[in-house]
Amino acid sequence: MHANKIIKATYLLLSVGTLLLVLLVPPGPTVSACDSSSLFSSSYFFIDDHNVHKELSFLDDSDFSFSYSDEFTLYERFRQETPYSEPEKILRRISLVDEQMFLDIDIWLKNGKAITNWLNGLSEIFDYKEVNLLESKTSSDKYTVAAISYTTGSYPSLQLSIEMKDHFVQLNHKFTNDINDLRMFVHIVKSIKLDNNTSLDEIFGTIITVSLENYYTLNQKLIDEKEVIISAERCCGLYSPGNPFQCCDTSSSLGNCTWHVFYMYGGVPFRGNADEWYYQVYITPGWESSNTPPYTSQNIGWHERGDMGHVAYITSHTSTVVSGSEQNWCQAGCPSRFYSRSASFFENYLYRIRDIIPTSPLLIID
């Protein structure tokens, strides 16, 4: 069930306490989202005198690397294989997780887009509150623009987007209830090396670091107003490592629908409240949506009614009824199963392409 690939950085620690992650994207996708063999098929380890280096095949013409503490766990959320079948969607996402700190790193093809147009498209989904463009201090034509943006609401976070020759890289840091997590994010950003081991400071000067540090005040405001998301590994007696969603009350049987669906899938590539998930399908490889129950081994029932919408884990269905399990925000019954619910209760169904069953629809099993 838990298909996310996990690398425990603590197992890799040598004498220095940091790891160097190098992301390289091969040219040109078959999607192997959450395929347990896909992480190590294109990766290897090598050891020098001081560090362990983890190399992942990501970019064809440029390196993107950074250092991070051994306290983090590295998850590969999903990736596309070459040749890319969905080049307009995210190529790959990895996540660094340490308690409340969640840092997602996404790689995109530029597809001829300017960074402003690309960010405008993402803002329609994530509602960026502001986008600050930062110009390169070098004459290189490979790295000319970076951008800093942030979101509030259901998943308050801070984004650093970098334009490369053929790709965009975006780092998405979830604001937490500890300012030190934001300091750690800034530290990771300062360690970023691009082509030929060039640091961001060499390309942009100190403007990126200084600009990110200006968000300490916003982070503290979110803490004071209790608007940060407290992610929960445990909810309703269940354990879900790397789950970014909150639980209503980890000491009781009051749960959260998004937490439950993440748990049942062993990971889903969506952020925020349930009502926002549908719109993220458009940028997530290997996922599609349908307004009727798809013929799949599992899928997500979705609607956007109410303040936050709702998602449920669907295990069987006919063309008119669905069955599955769910949690409801701060309601008892955690989780609760439902049988033969009208399929029209949900406005859409989100599903992984690889879960499609190319035969007859599943039957309801009581």
Residue-wise pLDDT tens digits, 219-231: 999 999 999 999 9
Is the pLDDT confidence value at 31 over 60? no
Q: Say which residue, 58 or 321, is predicted with more confidence.
A: 321
134: pLDDT strictly greater than 50: yes
Q: What is the dihedral of CA 61, 12, 177, 240, to 10 degrees?
A: 100
Cα–Cα distance, 248 to 233 (Å, whole number): 12
**Confidence band, pLDDT 50/70/90 cuts, at residue 142:** low
Q: Dump pLDDT digits (tens) for 90-132.
A: 999 999 999 999 999 999 999 999 999 999 999 999 999 999 9
In DSSP terms, which residues pair with 101 in a beta bridge?
A: 98
| Whether residue 9 has pLDDT greater than 80 | no
pTM of the model: 0.83
Q: What pLDDT, on a 0 to 100 scale, did the predictor assign at position 35?
A: 33
Give the C-alpha separation, 355 to 166, whole Å.
31
Q: Within 10 A of 251 (CB to CB), how many other CB atoms are there?
A: 7
Instruction: Tell me what the mean pLDDT of segment 20-45 comes to.
Output: 36
Section 277-292 average pLDDT:
97
Residue 298 has pLDDT above 70, yes or no: yes
How much is the average pLDDT of 184-209? 88
CA distance 109 to 300: 28
Q: Is the CA virtual torsion 296, 255, 176, 122 positive or negative?
A: positive
Highest mean pLDDT among 6-15, 50-59, 290-299: 290-299
> Average pLDDT of the chain?
82
Q: Assess whether pLDDT exceeds 90 at residue 331.
A: no
Walk me through the domains of the chain, giving residue ranges and CATH numbers: 5-223 (no CATH), 234-355 (3.90.1720.10)
**Tens digits of residue pLDDT in 333-354:** 787 888 999 999 999 999 999 9
Residues 322 and 310: beta-carbon distance below 8 Å: no
Return the pLDDT at 137. 66
What integer pLDDT is reported at residue 5 of this predicted model? Answer: 39
Confidence of residue 195 (pLDDT cuts 50, 70, 90): confident
Amino acid at 23: L
Examine the pLDDT at 366 and tell me if it is beyond 90: no
pLDDT at residue 179 tops 90:
yes
Contact of 45 with 78, CB cutoff 8 Å: no
Band the pLDDT of 139: cuts 50, 70, 90. Answer: low
